[in-house]
Amino acid sequence: MKVLITGGAGFIGSHLVRYMLKTYPDYEIINLDNLTYAGRLDNLSDIEDNPNYKFVKGDIADPLTVESLMEGVDYVINAAAETHVDRSIESSSPFIHSNVIGTQVMLDVAKKNNVKRFLQISTDEVYGDIAEGFFTEESPLKPSNPYSASKAAGDMLALAYFRTYDMPVMISRCSNNYGSRQYPEKIIPFFIKRLMNGENATVYGDGSNVRDWLHVEDHCRAIDLVLHKGKPGEIYNIGDHNEKTNLETTKLLLEIIGLPEDRIEFIKDRPGHDIRYAIDSEKIRSELGWEPQIKFEEGFRDTVEWYKEYFMNELSENAPEIEITDNR
């Protein structure tokens, strides 16, 4: 089996590449990544010599690059995306390029090559926010920012290709992921890096915004099930009901690191900030048998400890600073 994974040098993508090689040692895995600021080959240094693994630097919105790799591919997992909300507020163009045009190019070339299964990796943010209850796969889309709007557009394209061309397309929408190797612009590595640099953890507003947290390895297991057992034309929500306010997450992070809560600094909220993300994942549980295996308390602590060691090594080696934005 030949599998093309896009965005495989990023946070979720690198975990997914490693998971697929371990779970399916006979599969040939091609990783297409443009190595923009959040994609790092260091994320995959431990498997770069695997004979069943191939890395190609390239843009998913470039038809020639995609066409050169798609021939003979059985499965496609389109995980490449621009994902940072704050960056999308500053400039939406890169998000339209990767998340909309890139998805369109991937779909066109996959259709041309009669790919057996095409999995579009999406996000719970396409639903917008919800004060009470949970979004299901049938809920209307109401994205709140350019990032989530671009992901919603990619989803609509994927579903249109299923309806129009009978392409075997599936979509997964996951809640917030946590784990190792995430670029330090998202809240957990961002705060740890700031704190270890002697700065404060800068929380938007009053920190009451709620996120559902899922370990990236549990996400990879869900992707595996949707890819192999999901029904074409269907959407699968992936979440663990680990709802925490941003303030609760920050306080827990400080507790693990051993720093006082006065290291929290409340800053002006960002425009259009979603209040609460919450999805119902009963469908993937009942139809595909998925259940998360990593308890939040254990996984979160392990994640914080991983970043502590990573940034300590970075500081001790006087490594070049990784660019971080002011907010998540």
pLDDT in tens, 172-216: 999 999 999 999 989 999 999 999 999 999 999 999 999 999 999
Q: In angstroms, rounded to a whole number, what is the distance separating the alpha carbons of residues 230 and 209?
A: 32
- Residue 34 has which token pair? 């443009």
75 is catalytic: no
**Do residues 242 and 293 touch, judged by C-beta distance below 8 A?**
no
What DSSP element (H or E) covers 203? strand 201-204
What CATH class does 187-210+242-273+294-315 carry? alpha beta
Catalytic residue among 124, 129, 212, 218: 124
124 is catalytic: yes
Q: What's the pTM value of the predicted model, to 2 decimals?
A: 0.94
Pick the CATH number of 2-178+214-238 from 3.90.190.20, 1.10.260.40, 3.90.1150.10, 3.40.50.720: 3.40.50.720
Domain positions in the chain: 2-178+214-238, 187-210+242-273+294-315
Instruction: Tell me the CA distances in angstroms from 224 to 34, 53, 279, one per residue in order.
Output: 23, 17, 20
Residue-level pLDDT at 312: 87
Catalytic residue among 33, 59, 82, 125: 125
pLDDT in tens, 216-250: 999 999 999 999 999 999 999 999 999 999 999 99
Catalytic residue among 75, 147, 204, 236: 147
